Amino acid sequence: MSKLKLAVVIGSTREGRFAEKPAHWIADLAKSDGAFEVEVIDLKDYPMAFYGDPAATTEQSETAARFKAKVQEFDAYIFTAAEYNHAPTAVLKNAIDHGAWVRKPVAFVGYGGVGGARAVEQLRQIAVEMEMASVKTGTHILFPEYLAIVKGEKQISDFAHLVDAAKTMLGQLAWWGKALKSARDEEANASLAKAS
C-alpha cells in the first residue's frame, strides 16, 4: 500500500500562537515515520465564516468550499488543540464543521494547563459525530513544558515522554489509516462493479 496522506491542521489562528511549534514538530516526526506523506494545513489560510452563517460573504463561502475540497484529499489527520476556557478554539471547531472527514482517523496534539486534555476530550466527541475514528493515544504538552518551550529553554523533542507518546499515536494513526483506507477502497470498488 502507498503512503497515507496525512494532514496536520494548525488549530489556532490567534496572534502569538504556539500551535505552529507542535504542528511542525509532529509533521516532522510523521515524515520520519515512513508511513505518511505529510502536509501542514494552516487555518490562517482559510478565513471562513461560522458554519451556516447567512451573513457569510461570497469569498468566505468559496474559502470554505476550497477548505472542504482540500481536506478530502487526505487519509488521516492530526489537529493541534489549544485549550482556552476548558475548550478547543472556536476556529478549529468551525473548520471541523466545514470539512469532510467521514471514515478517516484523527489524532490530537494538545497543549495548555493539563496538556489540552479537556479540549481534546471535547474534540473526540465531535470527531465521533463527524464519523471520524479518534485514535486512543494523544500527545499532551503540559503547561510547564509549554513555558520552557516558549522561553526557548527546551524544544518539544527534548521531552522523551512527548516523543514516546507521539510515536505511539502515529503508529495507531497509521494502523487505522490503512484499515479505513482499505475499507473505503473496497466499498468504492464494489460500487463501481455494481454500476457497470
Q: Check if the beta carbon of residue 3 is closer than 8 Å to that of residue 135.
A: no
d(CA 37, CA 181): 14
Residue 1: pLDDT band (50, 70, 90) is low
Quote the mean pLDDT of the chain: 96
Query: Which backbone phi and psi does 194 adopt, to 5 degrees?
Result: -70, -35
- The CATH number, out of the four listed (3.20.20.20, 3.40.50.360, 3.30.497.10, 3.40.1440.60), of the domain defined by the range 4-195: 3.40.50.360
C-alpha cell at 193: 462493479
Provide the residue ranges of all domains of the chain, joining segments of one domain with +. 4-195
| Amino acid letter, 59 | E
* Segment 50-100, tens digit of pLDDT: 999 999 999 999 999 999 999 999 999 999 999 999 999 999 999 999 999
Q: Give the H/E segment covering residue 82.
A: strand 76-82
Mean pLDDT score, 131-142: 98
d(CA 10, CA 169): 17
* Segment 149-176, tens digit of pLDDT: 999 999 999 999 999 999 999 999 999 9
Instruction: Kindly list the distances between the CA atom of residue 155 and the CA atoms of 19, 150, 151, in Å, as whole numbers in the listed order.
Output: 14, 9, 10
